[in-house]
Amino acid sequence: MNRKGKKSFVKRLVACTLAFSMALATGTACGKQESHGKISVIVRSTGADYWEYCKQGAMDAGSELRYDVTYEAPMTEAEDNVQVDLIKKAITDKVDALVISPLDTVNVANALKEVQQAGIPIIMINNEADSSFETSGRKICIATNTPAGGSIAARQAKTITGSVGGIEVLAHTSDPSVDNGRLSGFMEELASADDEDDKEKSETETAAADENALKIVNVDYCNADSDIAYQKTLEAIDKYENLSLIYATNENTSVGACKAIAEKKLEHQISVIGFDSSSTQIQYLMDGVLDGMIVQNPYNMGYLGVRYAHQVLEGKEIPDSIDTGVTYVNGENYSQPGVQLVLDPVNYIKNQVNADNSEEGK
């Protein structure tokens, strides 16, 4: 995109953002306005850039719509008891709505039933809850179509490896509401084949192709812990001679895999495809250790979570679910404006507006 086109893109984006904000948050010109209420946002863990973007989106929406938004989470995804306590605290605090990315346990599902019984509307973001909490108990789920993301990862894996070699999968959780889509979508796409090509092959050719075909040799569950992913990657390197690719299903597992590959200096032998994005992942991408990443839209999840909570409280009709989409990012498309906007929406817009203003001021 040339400078004129880039400038026009940013102006249109900012204009739309400002218009949307004004439509939702009226009367903010003369001092602090009265709060519309309290919205609790509770996610799965802290520390990852992914959840920081989600937080920023939620806080921005709260500011625009004049809600007092609290944003909380357990330290790790292993602490469902902490998430349960946060949910019960939201009930005690009599929040007007709960926006949550629930950990997939029966304990959390039972706590969400208490939220429902208290008459507090529930907005799911990022994932659904344990199946013991029926989807009828929440108003909307705003999340990624994870099987589609997994399918994209598999197609890229085939391209990168030439459809040859073994794959180590580093799944960040065994939670079926979050991870299985990324894994099942990946596996289904990986198994897909051109039937016509298969028919034309001789039995000998088919046997040879099956022997060398790209396939999953192992799946490890890492509990969203980069250190565990790092160790599992080292073990896979030692165990599987034909290892050609690591597929990591979230930010922390991606970082752990890349750390191991970089230390062993195997970036030219073993490829890595990850989920989500962070400054660390981007650096590995620039260094050629990470081949690509399936990037979600956590900012939009947080932002739309609060926005739709507001609509529920206003008595408006809302959809049952929203797919926030995914973008495949690699070294070739990383610098494109649309990709940069997905990777870091807040700073991208701010930096482009500042650059625009500086140019106009010359």
Sign of the Cα torsion 200, 204, 206, 209 reads negative
CA nearest neighbour of 16 among 27, 26, 24, 28: 24
Tokens of 41: 């946002």
pLDDT for 345: 77
Partners of 140 in beta bridges: 123
pLDDT for 341: 86
For residues 210 and 109, give the distance between their C-alpha atoms in angstroms, rounded to a whole number. 43
CATH of domain 146-295: 3.40.50.2300
For residues 90 and 42, give the distance between their C-alpha atoms in angstroms, rounded to a whole number. 9
CA nearest neighbour of 270 among 282, 256, 260: 260
- Helix, strand, or coil (residue 356): helix
C-alpha dihedral (81, 85, 91, 97), degrees to nearest 10: -70
- Scored b (16 or more CB within 10 A) or e, 50-72 reads bbbbbbbbbbbbbebbbbebbbb
pLDDT for 8: 46
Amino acid letter for position 231: Q
How far lies 329's CA from each of 126, 254, 348, in Å?
20, 14, 16
pLDDT for 20: 42
Cα 161 from chain centre: 24
Query: Which residues have CB under 8 Å from 86's CB, separation 6+?
Result: 40, 42, 72, 73, 74
Tokens of 93: 């605090």
Superfamily of domain 34-144+298-324: Response regulator (3.40.50.2300)
pLDDT for 25: 39
pLDDT tens digits in sequence order for the chain, 362 residues long: 444 444 444 444 444 443 344 344 334 444 556 888 999 999 999 988 899 999 999 999 999 999 999 999 999 988 999 999 999 999 999 999 999 999 999 999 999 999 999 999 999 999 999 999 999 999 999 999 999 999 999 999 999 999 999 999 999 887 665 556 899 999 999 998 544 445 555 554 544 556 679 999 999 999 889 999 999 999 999 999 999 999 999 999 999 999 999 999 999 999 999 999 989 999 999 999 999 999 999 999 999 999 999 999 999 999 999 999 999 999 999 999 889 888 887 777 677 767 767 666 66
Domain boundaries, the chain: 34-144+298-324, 146-295
pTM of the model: 0.78
